[in-house]
Each structure stands twice: as C-alpha cells, then as structure tokens.
Amino acid sequence: MKRKPEVETELKLRIPATGPFRPLLEALGFRETTPAQPELSILWDRAGELRAAGSALRTRNYAGRTRLTWKGPKVADPVLKIRPEQETGIEDGAALEAILRALGYAPVMRLEKVRAVWEREDVEACLDETPFGCYLELEGDPQPIRAAMESLGLAYDRAEPRSYPELYRAHGLG
C-alpha cells in the first residue's frame, strides 16, 4: 500500500445506491482494489479531549487488516474535507486495544459499513453502504477530485460535509 499524504483531502457524496457506480468508475479508469466487505471502525477518546480539539483516534478493521488513524482538526473549506492525518498498520489489534486502555483511552463510538475501494493514479474512490444510506468518497488532490465528481455526473448539491461519526450521531446511532 502506498503511503498516504499527511493531509487528507476528500469529498463525500450522497448516492442512491453503490451498484450503478461500479461500471461508471471502471469506465473512468478506476480499478477495484478491495471488493465490498464489512468494515468496523472504533473511535477512541480520553475524557473527550480529542473530540474537544477537533481530532479523532480510530482503529479500523477492514480487508483482514487493522489500522490506527489519528485525524487532526478540519481545515475550513466550503465543500472538501481537509485535515491532517497519520495512519499505520497494526500487527495485533488486541494488544493495541490494551495499550490504548492503559493510556486512559476508551472506545466512544462503533461504526460499521460495507466498503469497496477503487483506485486510479490520481484519486481513490470508496463506495460505502451505511445504516443511513450510500456514499461515494473521493480522496486525492482537489482538482482530480472535482474532475472525477463531474465525470461521474455528480453535482456539489450531493456533497455531505459531515463525517461518518457526525452522521451516526445525527441518526441516533452513536
């Protein structure tokens, strides 16, 4: 897996279903690198300090791997979600959980979805099925994200500015 940049730039778009977007992505030169499968993410915090700082600490189990991600405060942008991010693979998820708990962190939210990952040289696309609807996430540099969105026939009125944790809370699931 290629190393992700230290600043994540993405656009989340509401879509009616993921199925129709598979052939569209393929026609635009994307290739499916991880077929649709369940993903479990857990947010960790210590007395609310990360959330208060606009940051997040997440463990993610997906495609047979466990990853630890820290996300920093969002950078103001009218459409794109831009924020610092550091991520690394974890060999032993149970050991990581024990370390986090020893440091005073506790799980504060559990998020489940089904995700398929599609990649092209300039953009990563994720087709997500959540308990509250389907989404297409485009991640990369701003111009290729906008070009991919337009090529898929999507407009900015489909942009979802809220994060998945915010959406879970809004739907009474967090």
Q: What is the pLDDT of residues 2-29, one digit of tens each?
A: 556 699 999 999 999 999 999 999 999 9
**Mean residue pLDDT across the chain:** 95
Residue with the two structure tokens 């906008």: 146
pLDDT of residue 4: 66
Confidence class of residue 78 from pLDDT cuts 50, 70 and 90?
A: confident
**What are the extents of the domains in the chain?**
7-170
**128 neighbors 114 (Cβ within 8 angstroms):** yes
Output DSSP code: residue 111. Answer: E
pLDDT, average across residues 57-67: 96
| pTM score, whole prediction | 0.93
Buried b (16+ CB within 10 A) or exposed e, 152-165: bebeeebbbeebbb
Question: Rounded mean pLDDT of 61-70?
Answer: 96
pLDDT of residue 1: 42
User: What homologous superfamily does CATH list for 7-170?
Assistant: Hypothetical Protein Pfu-838710-001 (2.40.320.10)
Q: How do residues 104-149 score in pLDDT, each as one tens digit?
A: 999 999 999 999 999 999 999 999 999 999 999 999 999 999 999 9
CA distances from 112 to 64, 87, 128, 165 (A): 15, 19, 10, 10
Q: Do residues 9 and 141 make contact, with C-beta atoms less than 8 angstroms apart?
A: yes
